[in-house]
Structure 1
């Protein structure tokens, strides 16, 4: 089926993210007004370009910041913190940026988040704290 016969949806966007086809990601979001992106897909398939396109388009800085530590890029984390993000913002699974930093085993980012007030006792939906995830 071609795009003339069927409108693409979030699943189509997911496959564009998986394939790292940033041109198709932008095309789908712009031409078909697909405004929702599962940011976990960007993490699962290490697609930082799609992630930043979503951020640039939506300007949902706190929502996006939760996931930034997973990319293991200290400079990007510092950039978001300089924008005065809520370092304790949670996603729909109650996961914080500190949880993602713990899962990615990045000590520098962990230190950065803690020094900016990240809650060490924050629990996700499963009751896990960032410290528990780091071990």
Structure 2
């Protein structure tokens, strides 16, 4: 399979991903969406008898509507579509499941990434500081 030529815009060029990377992305994206729907499915009470594939379908529709709406994080849009699409499940249960989803899917990874970035930047700062201190030593 031949790669495409880079897209040139003035001095800026966009290189397309290699086919192996594209195939990995085509595999990872649906798995990620199915995992996100699974969070909501498992957060719903078992007594509500919500089918996983129903939750997946509603999640894909609500996710798409949230993207089209341009609302930051789809906040409110995702919830309205879910509550509307699942009238047999008590609204409080649906909202609680979506809060759990937002916590596990958005906030915990965000908090973990903050820790990683702070530790990385701290290590860079310490390395720069120690290199400066070593450069100031009389030789």
Q: What's the TM-score once normalised by structure 1's chain length? A: 0.25
Q: As a proportion of its length, which structure holds more helix?
A: 2
Q: As a proportion of its length, which structure holds more strand?
A: 2
